[in-house]
Amino acid sequence: MSVAVITGSAGLIGSEATRYFAAKGMHVVGIDNDMRKYFFGPEASTEWMRKHLEATIPDYQHFSIDIRDHAAILELFKRFRKEISLVIHTAAQPSHDWAAREPLTDFSVNATGTLNVLEATRQLCPEAPFIFTSTNKVYGDSPNELPLVEQESRWELDKTHKFAEHGITEEQSIDDSLHSIFGASKVAADVMVQEYGQYFGLKTACFRAGCLTGPNHSGAQLHGFLAYLMKCNVTRTRYTVFGYKGKQVRDNLHSADLVRAFDRFFQSPRSGAVYNIGGSRFSNCSMLEAIAMAQQISGREMNWQYGDENRKGDHIWWVSDIRKFQSHYPGYALQFDSLAILREIHDRNHERWKDSSRVVHA
């Protein structure tokens, strides 16, 4: 049986990929040691998703391995060797706020962990496409130098700029900018994934994502924008908006739309590919607009406050131009816009959130 190795398999993208490729008949080997609980606390633990995957996917095999443990990763890959036909690497420390607390941990997870999985792939299953979930934070805060115009509910790019119609392309520079510690560790991983494609000839792709989201997200204050926003609305927890007048714009990509892009690459891989991937002009919103949508969906007023200080290195406006990927894989289109994503997050989770809130406050 064809094996797909998926790191971070109980996380947002990993769990989506696990279900998707298992449904296609692949044997999924998941690697996830619930570091998210360490990063963001018990409320962000992915244990509930691990249990769900094990209970609902008969052929799913879960391994609680730390991707920083080179020997353990290599041993696991040796166990399956040439049966491995796909590697999807989603495991990461995902918050630029948290990274500043423990830079060594952040870099060892994001950079060294990626290198460990790459090297195991090169040694033991070099024909398997290697898909890496990168981030738009590799561009640092250079997008903040774009000519932005303040509107009533959002910042918007000047209509005369070349990125205005479709969003930011891969030609945006990653140099001469403030990346945040997280962004720097992801740059290191991103470049190494490219290098294993260009230098060693592996079939690798870096998907530089905007805000990845969906109903499986264990959202926390420091990571998981839409999921955490919706959770706060349902549980009446105060939400803090950081800076930029609440008008900062994010494009939002449903995990299912991203995994369908992974599959397209898997079917026709390239070496050292780099793609901006996100909600594009189809799915984006500002913080103020997201709050309004959450209130509309739940029927509850949002309990939120504003903090004048923005997050260091944060983007004021980000919309991904995904046309490069679409030119390589014609017919790919997004299915979920921001409102649909928020509605699904609410509908799939509101009872679970209410129950957990009752337990906490009992």
Mean pLDDT within 59-68? 97
In the chain, the number of structural domains is 1
Mean pLDDT within 309-336? 95
Mean pLDDT within 86-108? 95
Which residue in this structure is represented by tokens 């590919």? 273
How are the residues of the chain apportioned to helix, strand and coil, as percentages rounded to the nearest 5? 45, 20, 35
Separation CA 141–CA 121 (nearest Å):
32
Q: What is the pLDDT of residue 204?
A: 98
The amino acid sitting at 58 is P
> 330: exposed, middle or buried (C-beta count within 10 Å: 0-12, 13-18, 19+)?
exposed
Q: What is the pLDDT of residue 30?
A: 98
What digits encode the pLDDT tens for the residues 171-189? 999 999 999 999 999 999 9
Q: What is the pLDDT of residue 358?
A: 47
Q: pTM for the complete prediction?
A: 0.93
Q: What is the pLDDT of residue 43?
A: 82
Domain around 270: 3-361
Separation CA 207–CA 132 (nearest Å):
6
Contact call for residues 16 and 10 (beta carbons, < 8 A): no
Report whether pLDDT(266) > 90.
yes
Separation CA 169–CA 128 (nearest Å):
27
Q: How far is CA 356 from the centre of its chain?
A: 25
Percent of the chain with pLDDT over 90: 87
Pairing mode, if any, of strands 249-254 and 284-286? Answer: antiparallel
Q: What is the CATH number of the domain that holds 55?
A: 3.40.50.720
Q: At what angle do helices 180-198 and 113-124 cross, to 10 degrees?
A: 10
What digits encode the pLDDT tens for the residues 226-244? 888 999 999 999 999 999 9
